[in-house]
Amino acid sequence: MGEISVLDSNIEHMVRMAILHIIQLGTKHGVFKVISRGATQREVLDSLDIPNKKLLLEFLNTLKAIGIVEERDGRLKLNGFSYRLDVPKNHYEALLPGWVAVLEEIYRMVDYAFITPTHPHVLMDFDKDADFWDIRMNTDFAALYREVIAKTGGIDQGSSVLDLGCGSVSPYEFGKRIGYDGLYVGVDYSPAILEIARARVEGESLPVELKELDLKLLRPVNEYQTTVMSFIFEYLKPEDYRRVLRRALGTLRPGGSLIILEPFRDNFRHIEALEFFERLNKDFKRFPAMSEVASLIADEGFDASIKRLGRSLLKVTLKP
Ligand SMILES: C[S@@+](CC[C@H](N)C(=O)[O-])C[C@H]1O[C@@H](n2cnc3c(N)ncnc32)[C@H](O)[C@@H]1O
C-alpha cells in the first residue's frame, strides 16, 4: 500500500472507532434509553442528568448526522442503524498504533466535558494543554503525514517552506529535512505551542524561524517554494476559506506548491463522529470538503493546477 493510502486508511479507521465510541457514550449516559421511549429532543435534554446541555445537544446532532437517530413528528427515534466493521488483513497491516492511545484520551474527556466544558480533565486547548497537543503531533501517524507532505511538496535539502499552523513538532522535523541552506518559517497563534517548538529546534542551528501570528492575518510575499497547511482548515470558519487560500497561494513563487492535508468530509462517510470529539477543542469548526476547497481555488483565478491525491491531500501548483 502506498503512503497516501496508508494515511487514508488510518483516518478511515479513526472515523470507525469514533462511531463505536459515540455508540458507547449513548449507551453509558442513558441517551439511547430515553430516545427509545419516543421522547422529544427537549425531553431528552431535560431528563438526562448531564449538566453540559450544549454538549448533549451536539451529541444528539451527531447521532442525527450519522443516521443513528432521526427526528419524526417532533420525536427522536432510533432508526435501526447498523454498522459493519470488517477486519481485513490489508487494512489492518496499515494501521499505526500511535493515534489510538491519543484518541482514547479524548474519548475519556467527554465524560468530564459533559459536566462542564472547562473541566480540568478536558485537555484540548492549544495553549493551556500544549503538552497534550505535542504528544498528539509526535505519534507514528504524525511522522507518516509529515513524510507524505514532504514527498508531495518536494521538501528537501535547501527548500524554502512556509508552514501555516505549524504546531510544535513540524518545525524541527521539516527543519532537519531542509538542512542548513534552506528556510523554514512556521506560523502559529499559540504561544505555548511555539515555546515547545522553539525548545526543540534550539541548539540545532537549523534555518527555522517561528512567528506568533493568526494565519488569517498573513501577508502574501511570493517567497516560498512550498506552503503547508496540515490539519488547519478544521479550525477556520468556512467563510474565511477563500481569503486564507488567496493569501496562502500568494506566498508562493511561480512553480511553487500549496499542500493541504485534511480528513476531507466529502471523502470520509460519518466523519461527524470524529468531529464530535475534535470539538472538545473550542477552536475546532468542522472538517472542510475537498470539493469546496478545490472549487474556491479554481474560482480565485490563480494560474494553477489542482491535484487530488487520495482522500486527504490536495496539491496546488502555480504555473512556473
Ligand atoms: C492540529 S495542530 C496541527 C499542527 C501541524 N500543522 C501538524 O500537522 O502537525 C493545529 C495547529 O494550528 C494552530 N492554529 C489553529 N488555528 C490557527 C490560526 N488561525 N492561526 C495560526 N495558527 C493556528 C494551533 O495552535 C495548532 O498548533
Whether the CB of 189 sits within 6 Å of ligand 1: yes
Cα–ligand 1 centroid distance for 163 (angstroms): 9
Max CA pair span of the chain: 67
**Signed CA dihedral, 276, 278, 281, 282: sign only:** negative
Nearest-CA residue for ligand 1 atom 13 is: 165
pLDDT tens digit sequence for 273-284:
999 999 999 999
**Signed CA dihedral, 61, 67, 73, 78: sign only:** negative
Query: Residue 317, CB half-sphere, CA atoms under 13 Å: how many?
Result: 11
Per-residue pLDDT at 89: 81
Q: Which domains does the chain have, with CATH numbers?
A: 147-267+283-318 (3.40.50.150)
Per-residue pLDDT at 93: 84
Cα–ligand 1 centroid distance for 54 (angstroms): 25
Sequence-ordered list of residues with C-beta below 8 angstroms from that of 319, at least 6 positions apart, any chain:
254, 255, 303, 304, 305
Cβ-contact 252, 227 below 8 angstroms: yes
**Signed CA dihedral, 12, 284, 237, 128: sign only:** negative
Whether the CB of 132 sits within 6 Å of ligand 1: no
* Count of other CB atoms within 10 angstroms of residue 308: 15
CA distance 272 to 277: 9
Per-residue pLDDT at 301: 87
Q: Compute the chain's Rg from CA coordinates.
A: 21
Per-residue pLDDT at 88: 77
Helix (H, G, I), strand (E, B) or coil at 76: strand
Cβ-contact 122, 113 below 8 angstroms: yes
Per the document, the length of the chain is 320
Whether the CB of 139 sits within 6 Å of ligand 1: no
Whether the CB of 201 sits within 6 Å of ligand 1: no
Residues of the chain predicted below pLDDT 50: none
Sequence-ordered list of residues with C-beta below 8 angstroms from that of 184, at least 6 positions apart, any chain:
159, 160, 161, 163, 171, 174, 175, 178, 206, 207, 208, 209
Per-residue pLDDT at 220: 80
DSSP 30: T
Nearest-CA residue for ligand 1 atom 4 is: 167
Cα–ligand 1 centroid distance for 165 (angstroms): 3
**What one-character-per-residue DSSP string does 257-282 give?**
EEEEE---TTTSTTHHHHHHHHTTST
Q: What global pTM score does this model have? A: 0.96
Cα–ligand 1 centroid distance for 186 (angstroms): 10
